[in-house]
Structure 1
Amino acid sequence: MTFRKLSLVVLLGLALLAGSFAAPTRSEPEAAQAAGTELSFRAPVTVSANDDQTAAEPSIRAARDGSLYIVAPTGLGNVRTDNESGGGDIVWRSDDNGASWEFLGSLDNQLGGGDADIAPDRDGVLWGSGLTLANTTGAISVDKGENWNTNPINSLATVVDRQWIETYKSEPFAFMATGRIADQSIIVSRLERAPGDLPVTSNTVKVSGTDAYQWPGEIAVDEKNDLVYVTYNTGDDIRDRIVVSRMDLNLGNVSTFDVTTTKGDSFDSFVGLDVDKAGNVYTVWTERRPSGEGGEDGRTNSYVAVSKNQGKDWSRPVAVNRGPKTTAFPWIVAGSRGRVAIAYYGTRNRGPSPEKVTYPDRDIPKWKVWVSYSVNAASADPVYREKVAMSSFLHQGDICTSGTGCASGTRDLADFLQIDLD
C-alpha cells in the first residue's frame, strides 16, 4: 500500500441531489431538464498537513450539521505509531465546507490500520471502523471525532478484510459488511452502542452464496423501508456476477439477487452501492470490454443499474462515462428520488483494462477525477451528464487493480475513491 498526503476535490452544486430543483413535468423533456442542472467544483484542497499525516484510501462522509469527516488507514503493524498520526486509522474534520481540515488523530491507534471507514448518524454520533486482518475494529465518538471508544473485536469471524460501516437514523446501532478470507464469503454484523458508548457486536450473518467474492463491496441502509443492502462481485473465470444481498434490520430474511452477469474476469474494483430517499437502490461498477487484437482498442466503462423493487429486479446497466475511454474505481451517492452522482478516475486512453493503457505509440495516459450525475436516474431512460472535477491529473500510466500484487508506481491511487452528499 502506498501512503501519501491526502487531497480532496470539494464538490459544489450537489444540492441537485437533495431535490432543490423543480420536479420535471410530463411535457418537459428529461434530457433538457438534466442539461439545466449544473455541477461545479472547487480547487483541490490538501488535507494532510505534513508527512506525519500520510495515509491511503480515504473515506469521506458528511454529517447533518454540515461537518465533513475523512478517515484513512496508515498501514498494518503499527508502522506509523512513532509520529503524529499515532498509527491505525486517522481522522480529519472540516467545519467550513471542506476549505480547511483539522487533524483529530487516530480513532483506534494500534488496533487498526489495514482499512478504514466512517459513518455519522442523524444526531452526529460517529461510527468508525478499522482492520487488523485478525478482526475488525469498531469505534464510537459522541464529540465530533475528538475522542473515541474502541473495541478491537467487532466481527464474530476471524481473518477478515475490507470492512464497510453504515448507520440507521439516530438509533443506537450500526451495520458492518466484511469479507471473510477463509471461505471468501461476505458477512454482515450488527453493532450495538453499549453503555460507555462502546460498539459491541450482537449478531453476524453470512449473506453471500456459494460463489466466492472477488471484491467485498459496500453496504447501504434503506431508512424508508428499514432494509440493509450489501453488494459484491464474484471472481469466476467463466461467469462473473454483480450481486446484491438484502436483509432486515435484525439481519434476518436474507435474500440475494443478481444485478448483472457477464463473461468471467470482467470486473476491476469494489462495487458501489447507495439508496435514494424513495427507496430506489443503485449499484455501480467497472467492466472491461476488450476489442481488437490484444484488446488495445478496448474500453473499461463505469456502469450503473437501479432497482425500484428492493433489489428483486434491476434495470439494464447504463455506461455513465463519455469522455474517458478507461475508468477505474466508481463510487455513487444518492439523494432524493432519482438524483445520484458517480465519481471515478478516467483517462481518454483506450486499453483492455486500467492495468494496460500504456503503449509505446501513444501518449502516456493521464488520469483525472470525473463525475457523472443524473436527476432522473430511476427513470426508464436516465440522462447522465459528465464533468471533469479537476484540471490537473492525479496519476499517469497504468492503474493496477490487483491489490498488493501490483508493480511499483501503478497502485498510487490504492483501490477506491469516494464521493458524498452534504
Structure 2
Amino acid sequence: TSAPGSLSSDTSWVWHSLDGGKTFKWVVAATALEGKYTTCAGGGDTETGVDSAGHLYFADLTLANFSTSRSDDQGATVTCSNTGVPDAVVDRQWYAFDGDPTNGGSIYLVNDEFAQSPAQCGSPTNFGQNILVMYRSPIPGGEALAGIQFGPANKVSNPLGCDEGIMGNDEVSPVATTLGQPIGGGQYAVLPTPVKHIFVVHDDALLNRILIGRCFPVAFGPPIPNVSDPSGLNCVDLPVADLGSSNKTGANFPTMAIDKAGNLYAVWSQAPINGSGQVTGDTVLKYSFSTDQGNTWAAPIQINTSGSPVGTLHNNVFAWPVAGDDGRVDIAWYGTPGVAPNPSNGPDSCNNCDWSLWMMQTLNGHAAAPTFTAPILASEHFIHRGTMNTLIGGQNGDRTLGDFLQLRMGPNGEAEIAYADSNNFDEPFAPHGMFVRQNSGNGLLVASSPVNISGLAPFNTVSDPTNDGKYEVNGLSSANMPQLDITNSSIKLLTTAPCSAAAPCYQVVMKLNNLSLAPTTAQDPDLDLVWLTQWFVPSTTDPNGGKNFFVYGESFNGSALQCFAGENAAQAVGGGVTLTYPGVTQLPAANCLVKTGGNGTITIDVPLSNVNEPGAIDNRLHEVTASTMTLQERANSVPPVAGIGGVLFNLIDVAQGYTFDPTKH
C-alpha cells in the first residue's frame, strides 16, 4: 500500500506486508528515516499495483507528470522515470493489469489531463475541463521499460465536452470477448480474436452523470478502428446513469468492480441539491450493474444503510467495491449516523460527525433486486471526527483522510481494506495508515466461503515470529538484530507495587529474542534503540476524536534503560509531515525494568493517570502495536510543541496489533 507525503516534501511512502497484512514496514528501497521510495520526483497522488508475476509498480504525481517505476524484487530495488507519460499537467492516476507486462502482458494507466478542454461547463470563469485518458505499456520494443514508459494517450472522454469530472479506478475484465467499436445503430464490430476489455468509471464535469470508458488493446499504429491506434487502444465512453440537475455526485470518485463472469458493478455517492448547489439531504450510496460489458445498465438503486449498529448512516463517502465469483460483491466506505445541516455542504458541513469504516456484501449483485447485508462495522470504532472533504461539498471539509480508501479481495475471497484513522492529537494533518482483513462470514469465492481465518483479532497478548528484526533501508536488508527482534507483546492491569488499586497501571511487557541494550553498529549506524508500544483511545468528547498514547524503553549507545510515556507527534519532511513518538513523562526506575539475555523482557508500568483520555468510548486499548526502532538521537530530543516535534526513526520490527480488554483473562 502507499500514501503521499506532499508535493513540497517530494516524498511518498510504500509499505509491504510479509505476513498476510498482520504487519507492515516500508519496502527495502525506502530511504533511511524519511522513507522516500524512489529517487524520482513525487509527493502527490500515489498508486501501486502488482502484476501476475509479482512485479511492483508505483506512480507518483508531480503535477507536471507522473514518476513511474517498477521493482522486480518486491521493492528492494527500483527503476523509475520522471516522465512516465508523454503528457503534462496530469492528475489522479489508477493502474490495471493484464498478466505480466514484462512478458507479453500489459499495464494500463488512467488519469486526467487537467484543465485541458476549452469547454466552459457551468461557470463563465471556468478555465477548462479535465479529459479522461488511458495509456498502455509496454510500447513496441520497450518491454524492458514496462510500467516505466507508457505510449501515447487515448482520450476516453470527449476532449471538447464536459464529460469528465474525475475518474475512479480502472479494471481489466477477466473474460475475453470479440466486442469491438461502435458501428452505428447500437451495433458493434466483431473482433477476429477475443480480447480483454479495460473499463474506467467516471463522472462528468457537472457531477450529475456517471459514465464508463471501455477500451481494448489493438496494435500500435495508424488510427484504424478495431485494428490499430497510436495509443495501442480503442475506446468508447458509455452512459451509466443520469442523476438529473437536482442531484450531485462526488464523494469522491465513482468506483467499479468486475466479477469473474465479466459482470460490471458501479458505486457512487449522491446527494440532493437545491438551485444554489447546496446539499439538502443525506449523502447516500447508489449502485448499478451491467451484464453486457457496459452497453446497458440497471436502474440505480439506493443502498439501504439503516441497519447499521449505530442506526441509519446519513452521510456516506469514499465507497469502493470489489467482486469475486458471479454476483458476489463487497463494498467498503466511510459512513456516519450524523446529519449535516440543511442546506449546507453535506459531508463537508458535518462538523460533529463520527465516521467509521463500513462494509456490506451482496451475493446476487446482478439480480433484478440485489440484496445486501446490513452495514458491518469494519474498523471496530469510529476513525474520524468532524467533516469530510468531498466534491459534493465543494471541497470545504477536512481532508485528513485523503480522498479515498481501497478494498481488495484476499486469496480466500476475504475483504482487505486499506484506510486511515485520524483519532490523535495531530488530527488535521497526520492520520495513521490502517489495514483490516475479514476473518469470518461469507466470502467472494464460493469454493472458500465462508471465510475462516484465525488469529486476526487477538486480545491482550500477541506473539511475533523470530528473525525479522532487520534494518532495511536504501535497498539493503541487514541480518536479524536479536535485541530488537520482538517475540511477544502483552498488556495487563496492575494494582500491586509499584502501582496500587487506588493508582492502577497498565503493565506493558515486550519480550525480545535476545535482549541487550547495545546497538549493532556494524549493521545499523543509529545509536539510539527504542522499544515502543502504542495504542488508540477513541473518545466521545475529544475534538480530535481521541488519543494515540505510547510508552517506550530507550537506551542510547548501551546506556541504562529509561522509560517514557506520551502521545504521538509529527515532524516536518519538507512541506509534509511524518509521525514521531517523543516521550514527555519519564517513568520512575521501579516502573521501568529490563531483563537482558535470551527471551529478555522490557516491562513498563505506566499509571493510568499518565495515559488518561476523558470520554473514552470504552475501557479497552485499541490497535495495541509493539515495535522496535533505531534513531540518530533520543526520541524526545525535539520536544513536541502543539503536536510538532520528535525525531525520525527507522522501524526495525513490528508485532501484529491487538486489543487490550481488562475483562478478558
TM over 0.5: yes
- The match for 2:409 is 421
Query: Aligned equivalents of 2:244 and 2:76: distance in 1?
Result: 48
Distance of aligned partners of 1:252 and 1:194 in 2 relative to their CA distance in 1, 3 Å threshold:
closer
Query: Aligned equivalents of 1:325 and 1:334: distance in 2?
Result: 25
Q: Please, which of 207, 227, 249 is the counterpart of residue 217 of structure 2?
A: 249
Query: Aligned equivalents of 1:202 and 1:399: distance in 2?
Result: 36
Residue 185, structure 1, aligned to residue 141, structure 2: no
Tell me, what secondary structure is at the counterpart of 1:213? coil
Tell me, what secondary structure is at the counterpart of 2:73? coil
Distance of aligned partners of 1:404 and 1:300 in 2 relative to their CA distance in 1, 3 Å threshold:
closer
Distance of aligned partners of 1:297 and 1:212 in 2 relative to their CA distance in 1, 3 Å threshold:
closer
1:155, distance to aligned residue in structure 2 (A): 1.8
Residue 270, structure 1, aligned to residue 270, structure 2: no
Query: Aligned equivalents of 1:255 and 1:126: distance in 2?
Result: 29
Tell me, what secondary structure is at the counterpart of 1:74? strand
- The match for 1:390 is 379
Residue deviations 1:219-246 (CA, integer Å, cap 9, x gap): 1111312001111101227xx2101010
- The match for 2:205 is 235
1:98, distance to aligned residue in structure 2 (A): 1.2
Query: Aligned equivalents of 1:297 and 1:187: distance in 2?
Result: 34
Within a 5 Å distance, the mapping from 1:118-133 to structure 2 comes to 118-133=48-63
Query: Aligned equivalents of 1:271 and 1:151: distance in 2?
Result: 29
Query: Aligned equivalents of 2:167 and 2:90: distance in 1?
Result: 11
Within a 5 Å distance, the mapping from 1:4-403 to structure 2 comes to 70-77=1-8, 79=9, 87-104=10-27, 105=30, 106-172=36-102, 173-181=106-114, 182-183=116-117, 184-192=130-138, 194-195=143-144, 199-209=148-158, 210-225=161-176, 226-236=196-206, 240-250=208-218, 251-264=232-245, 266-268=248-250, 269-289=252-272, 298-322=281-305, 323-351=312-340, 353-358=346-351, 364-385=352-373, 386-402=375-391
Query: Aligned equivalents of 2:44 and 2:320: distance in 1?
Result: 20
| One-letter code aligned to 1:221 | V
Cα contact 1:230–1:245 (8 A) shared by 2: yes
Q: How many residues align?
A: 336
Query: Aligned equivalents of 2:84 and 2:382: distance in 1?
Result: 38
Query: Aligned equivalents of 2:279 and 2:289: distance in 1?
Result: 31
Tell me, what secondary structure is at the counterpart of 1:354? helix
Cα contact 1:115–1:163 (8 A) shared by 2: yes
CA RMSD of aligned residues (A): 2.5
Query: Aligned equivalents of 1:92 and 1:259: distance in 2?
Result: 35
Query: Aligned equivalents of 2:280 and 2:267: distance in 1?
Result: 23
Distance of aligned partners of 1:170 and 1:263 in 2 relative to their CA distance in 1, 3 Å threshold:
same
1:178, distance to aligned residue in structure 2 (A): 0.8
Cα contact 2:97–2:107 (8 A) shared by 1: yes
Cα contact 1:107–1:128 (8 A) shared by 2: no
Distance of aligned partners of 1:403 and 1:165 in 2 relative to their CA distance in 1, 3 Å threshold:
farther
Tell me, what secondary structure is at the counterpart of 2:409? coil
Query: Aligned equivalents of 2:146 and 2:53: distance in 1?
Result: 14
Tell me, what secondary structure is at the counterpart of 1:355? helix
Cα contact 1:88–1:109 (8 A) shared by 2: no
Any gaps of 5 or more consecutive residues in structure 1?
Answer: 1-69, 80-86, 359-363
1:168, distance to aligned residue in structure 2 (A): 0.7
Residue deviations 1:126-156 (CA, integer Å, cap 9, x gap): 2221111101122111111222111221222
Query: Aligned equivalents of 2:393 and 2:286: distance in 1?
Result: 25
- The match for 1:51 is none
1:289, distance to aligned residue in structure 2 (A): 2.9
Distance of aligned partners of 1:297 and 1:348 in 2 relative to their CA distance in 1, 3 Å threshold:
farther
1:198, distance to aligned residue in structure 2 (A): 6.3
Cα contact 1:88–1:130 (8 A) shared by 2: no
1:320, distance to aligned residue in structure 2 (A): 2.5
Distance of aligned partners of 1:198 and 1:398 in 2 relative to their CA distance in 1, 3 Å threshold:
closer
Residue deviations 1:156-195 (CA, integer Å, cap 9, x gap): 2210100111111234320000101122100100021632
Q: Which runs of 4+ in 1 moved over 6 A?
A: 294-297
Tell me, what secondary structure is at the counterpart of 2:175? coil
Distance of aligned partners of 1:235 and 1:94 in 2 relative to their CA distance in 1, 3 Å threshold:
same
Tell me, what secondary structure is at the counterpart of 1:384? coil
Tell me, what secondary structure is at the counterpart of 2:249? coil
Cα contact 1:88–1:110 (8 A) shared by 2: no
Query: Aligned equivalents of 1:296 and 1:102: distance in 2?
Result: 41
Residue deviations 1:274-301 (CA, integer Å, cap 9, x gap): 211111111111000359xx98871111
Cα contact 1:112–1:130 (8 A) shared by 2: yes
Q: Which has the higher contact order (CA 8 A, sep 6+)?
A: 1
Cα contact 2:279–2:393 (8 A) shared by 1: no
Cα contact 2:174–2:261 (8 A) shared by 1: no
Say which is worse superposed, 263-272 or 128-137, in terms of deviation: 263-272
Any gaps of 5 or more consecutive residues in structure 2?
Answer: 31-35, 118-129, 177-195, 219-231, 306-311, 411-665
TM-score scaled to structure 2, two decimals?
A: 0.48
Larger Rg computed on CA atoms = 2
